[in-house]
Chain A
Amino acid sequence: MSTLTADKTTHPAPDGAPRRRPPHPPRRPRTGGRILASKAAVNGILVLIALYTLMPLTWLLFAATKNNADLFGRPGFTLGDFSLFANLGDLFTYNDGIFGRWLLNSFVYSVLGSLASTLLSLGAGYAFDKYDFRGKEKLYGFILLGLLVPATVISLPMYLLASKVGIVNSYWAILIPGLVSPFGVYLSRIFAEGYVPGETLEAARMDGAGELRIFGSVALPMLAPAFVTVFLFSFTGSWNSFFLPLVMLNDHELYPVGLGLFNWNATLTQYPDQYALLITGSLVSVLPLAVAFLCLQRFWRSGLTAGAVK
């Protein structure tokens, strides 16, 4: 920006003297150009990456407004007959409204499961940070090892155990395994360290409050931001979970939305008219999390940051 104006002011030589250049300008146009080029390159690459990450979801939005004929008959990023509402109607009435049932199941698994899981994690994380007992760090390290266990490895034995206990093919088969989150405990401990000062606990103790009361009415309110973060991680974990329900559930009525859509996808070659159904269903199942992400960005980031910096 300054190169142009600098040239203009030096160009007209009013007193007829040979044009005098200050010592720096000869280098400035080049440097300025290079910075401009670098800036264009950096932002250009970023725009390309954003196009890559946003294209599939944008396409999904377009596709959900089309009927089956237009899906294949018209280019991806054009509008056909606007059929979004017809598609939604079909989606929620198909097969006696099974899709609504799946959505409801997903909410039960994710909301109830994550609430319980978050409370458990916060309690444990808080206790690991604030109390001292023998073998504490060993137990904590043992729990963190759970982070490294591939989830698919324990799904099969879990299924066999669940079938012995008789809870296979029920809500419990999904809810109980979802309660345990080593990552949640890890985050909670970090948050408890940062958000709950020892002096506050001490003051509460001086007032004669019992330890559990202190956790419930002093520490827990201070941990509210941690609650949201841990809940969010747990919620996405269970909303995304696929292998466990696939293994545990037979009954279509108990399916979470992902597993239901997976089944539709698997039968797509036999029922090609399900394309619009599957596309609209995918969009609807993506929306709750996408909205949660956009609204609660701050909490997401604080959780990942806690994980990264430590």
Chain B
Amino acid sequence: MTAPFAPSSTRRPGRGRRGQRTAAALLIGPFVLLFLAVMVVPIGYAAYLSLFREQSSGLGFGGTRTFFSGIDNYVRALTAPALQKGFLHIAAYCAVYIPVMIGGALVLALLIDSTLARAKRFFQLAAFLPHAVPGLIAAIIWVFLYTPGLSPIHQFLDWAGTRVDFFGDDAILFSMANATAWQWIGYNMVIFYAALQAIPRETLEAAIVDGSGALRTALSVKLPMIRSSVVLTTLFTCIGAIQLFTEPETFRYDATGLSPEWSPTMFIYQAAFSKHDYGIAAAASLILALLGALLSFVVTRLGNRWKEA
């Protein structure tokens, strides 16, 4: 990762060095400015907003009085029953989604990587194709597939003599996790598969010579060797999961158990755009960001421990 010194600096110390510094500034500068504008400044602005409260006439413009309220917005956010429930919902969703997602993608990658698999390119493509479907459209397609009367799944279940209410309170977490997993399983599989392909062949041959079967090789040789990909992918899956918005927002028109504030992101959206309470929305946003940072820390930590084990 360390970039080499630009070679010409030894030959033309004066002009070359300066030229390179100017070029670096011109090439990186615009990106950094935009990065500040759309990433850093908004976070700073959110932090600022979270410290103020507005007594609003409803529209947010004119006739409003803003006053400094300290940590009041954070207290209000953390004690809001809707947001507390939102975090519980997300925790339950993660408990279902993360193992299915990571486990499923790993199994898929190991299967395709195994010497027994045929038509590897086809299976890779088939698993990856759903990722070409935008998340929102994927959610809409699954709403259709869960709708009785419309869906071939219900027709199959009818034929088998059972009935499942995919929008019911018992099933809704699984229904949403399925819609998301369908979209991401191929993506994560490709990452794992690429890492598996990078394992030196000699290592695998040594395992086979030692009499290790395909299953054993997969679990105790291949899996530990791609752990950094597994940790990284788990991390990004967690960060995606805590922001869950598209699926519940799309499903809630059919699933009565999903309130408009079901997930933390939905809570933020409602607080900002229905109630025009920007202070609490900003505070909740930062709490969510903090949770993301905390999760990153924990996942990386666990990953390191696995590495040492």
Contacts and interface: CB of A to CB of B under 8 A. Distances in A.
B5 A38 contact: no
Contacts of A168: none
A105 to B, nearest CB: 14
Interface stretch (A4-12, A15-23, A80-88, A148-156): A148-156
Interface residues of A, number: 103
A236 B137 CA distance: 13
A111 to B, nearest CB: 15
A240 to B, nearest CB: 4
B83 to A, nearest CB: 14
Contact of A282 (B108, B137, B296): B137
A56 B137 contact: no
B132 to A, nearest CB: 4
Contacts of A57: 129-130, 133, 141
Contacts of A108: none
B152 A309 contact: no
A95 interface: no
Interface string A39-77: 100110110011011111101100100000001100111
Contacts, number: 285
Choose among A45, A266, A269, A304 the residue with the greatest number of B CB atoms under 10 Å from its CB: A304
B187 interface: yes
**How would you classify the secondary structure of chain A's contact residues: helix, strand, loop or mixed?**
helix
**Considering residues A42, A71, A146, A269, which has the most beta carbons from chain B within 10 angstroms of its beta carbon?**
A42
A232 to B, nearest CB: 11
Contacts of B242: 150
B112 A46 contact: yes
Indicate the size class of the contact surface on chain B: 35 or more
Contacts of A305: 190, 194
Contact of A132 (B3, B149, B245): B3
Interface stretch (B70-78, B118-126, B163-171): B118-126
Interface of B: 2-9, 12, 16, 19-24, 26-28, 30-32, 34-35, 37-39, 41-43, 45-46, 49, 107-108, 111-112, 114, 116-119, 122-123, 125-138, 140-145, 149-152, 155, 182, 185-187, 190-192, 194-195, 198, 214, 229, 232, 239, 242-243, 245-246, 250, 253, 265, 268-269, 272-273, 278, 281-282, 285-286, 288-289, 292-293, 296
16 contacts: A43-B117, A50-B126, A120-B34, A124-B31, A136-B3, A143-B31, A156-B46, A156-B272, A157-B282, A158-B42, A160-B49, A161-B41, A261-B136, A262-B136, A289-B132, A309-B198
Interface of A: 35, 38-39, 42-43, 45-46, 49-50, 52-57, 59-60, 63, 71-72, 75-77, 120-121, 123-124, 126-133, 136-137, 139, 143, 146, 148-154, 156-161, 176-177, 179-180, 182, 185, 193, 198-199, 201-202, 205, 210-212, 215, 236, 239-240, 242-243, 246-247, 258-259, 261-262, 265-266, 268-269, 275, 278-279, 282, 285-286, 289-290, 292-294, 297, 300-301, 304-305, 307-309
